[in-house]
Amino acid sequence: MSALHTHRPRLRNSEQGMVSIMTTMVLMIVISLIVLGFAQISRRNQRESLDRQLSTQAFYAAETGVNDARDLIQKATNTGNEVQDKNGCTDSGVGNFYASLNPVVDAAKNVKYSCLLVDASPKTLRYSDIGANSVVVPMTSATGDAFNKIQLKWQSKLNTATPLVGCPTTAGGVFSPAASWSCGYGVLRFDLVPTGGSLNSGNLMTSTMTTFAVPMSNNTGTNDITYNAGSTNPNSLAAIKCTNTECSLQISSLTDTSYYMRISSVYRDVALQITGTTAGGSPVEIKGAQAQIDATGKAQDVLRRIQVSAPYTTTSQNQNSDYAIKSNDSICKRFSVANGYFANNPVGVVGSTNPLCQ
């Protein structure tokens, strides 16, 4: 009987394939991470693009709210009605003043102004562009409290961090030519007159305070002057201490509840803020000049909020000429005396014998 031999194959311990498998797995992981990274970047870019689009839509919706409020304010002013406050997003104002507002801009895309607030008597008046053409600012206390101080703050509109460079060092009585003015601030000129009492030509002339506020570059001058009116006003030319941020001037010793200001800026256009305080130091709510409109626009889940100081239509605009005559060059005045100048026949009428009319 022969013995049976069993042949068993030898198993060789070889790891030659493991390197390929590990390399493949590492490459797959790296490629997967790269793909996921690009996908995330793509989604983020898409979201940013969508957010920019929605933000623009929300901004336009907020502007629509501002324009709707300004239309109502203009209509009320034109008809002599009082502009009402809107203190809440759902507030319709006294007498449903804001009931006609339609906040929905695009219902299909969920674009609207979600909140609109209106302060008809703000504590701060803001004017972004005061220049050579004057602006008339009516200032009436909304609560009946008398003004004790009025503060003016004006900022340079030049793109510079040092607007004081080139400003005057002395407030002389003769202004330099416009071409020689290198200061970043303008000379603020204002006429201030109380309007709460009896108004006639005599009272207006004797109670009007006219001041030229000259910005100073050498940290000299003042930030506080007293109310003085008429031709003997000692503050008709005031040297104002300014910084590289703003010029500030406070007019004190006021006693009336209503004033009018005519404001212009010589040499440079400026941005201006006006506030008032009572004798106790409390801010005065000023009616009749501006309304502060606060609008929040919404486009899907994106919100944009803007605030606008809107002047009333029939105020804050000078209806008269600022000058009797204006020229780009020096003006030479020539005076003539002739016989018959005070003749009875009117000057300029056809047939007049006045020699000055020939």
- Do 152 and 262 have their domain in common? yes
Q: What is the residue-averaged pLDDT of the chain?
A: 85
Comparing 288 with 171, the larger pLDDT belongs to 288
77 with 39, same domain: the answer is yes
Same domain, 129 and 273: yes
Nearest CA among 340, 113, 146, 139 for reference residue 256: 146
pLDDT above 90 covers a percentage of the chain that reads: 53
Phi/psi at 326 (nearest 5 deg)? Answer: -140, 135
Looking at the predicted structure, is the pLDDT value of residue 348 above 80?
no
On whether residue 194 sits in a domain, the answer given is yes
Does residue 264 register a pLDDT over 90? yes
Tens of pLDDT, residues 95-149: 899 999 999 999 998 999 999 999 999 999 999 989 988 899 999 999 999 999 9
Tell me the two tokens of residue 40.
């995330």
CA angle, residues 287, 236, 153, in degrees to nearest 5:
45
Is 86:118 a contact under the CB 8 Å cutoff? Answer: yes
Q: How many domains does the chain have?
A: 2
For residues 154 and 282, state if they share a domain.
yes
Confirm if 151 and 250 have CB atoms less than 8 A apart. Answer: yes
> Distance between CA 329 and CA 96 in Å, rounded?
55
CA distance 201 to 127: 29
Shared-domain flag, residues 128 and 152: yes
pLDDT at position 31: 86
Rounded Cα–Cα distance for residues 117 and 304 (Å): 14
Quick one: pLDDT at residue 118? 96
Range of the domain at 64: 26-111+296-302
Nearest to 214 by CA among 151, 265, 162, 276: 265
Residues 80 and 207 in one domain: no
The whole-angstrom separation of Cα 137 and Cα 123 is 14
pLDDT of residue 170: 83
Tokens coding 297: 């626009």
Q: Residue 17: is its pLDDT beyond 70?
A: no
Residue 295, SS3?
Answer: strand
pLDDT of 107? 92
Tell me the pLDDT band of 307, cut-offs 50, 70 and 90: very high
Residues 129, 71 share a domain: no
pLDDT at 176: 83
Residues 102 and 235 in one domain: no
193 and 98 fall within a common domain: no
Tell me: pLDDT of 11 over 70: no
What is the arithmetic mean of pLDDT over 77-102? 90
Let me know if residue 172 belongs to a domain: yes
The span from the CA of 227 to the CA of 209, in Å, is: 7
Minimal CA–CA distance to 193: which of 180, 204, 184?
A: 204
Average pLDDT over residues 19-39: 82
Q: Bigger pLDDT: 316 or 72? A: 72
69 shares its domain with 201: no
pLDDT at residue 358 greater than cutoff 50? no
On whether both 186 and 258 belong to a single domain, the answer is yes
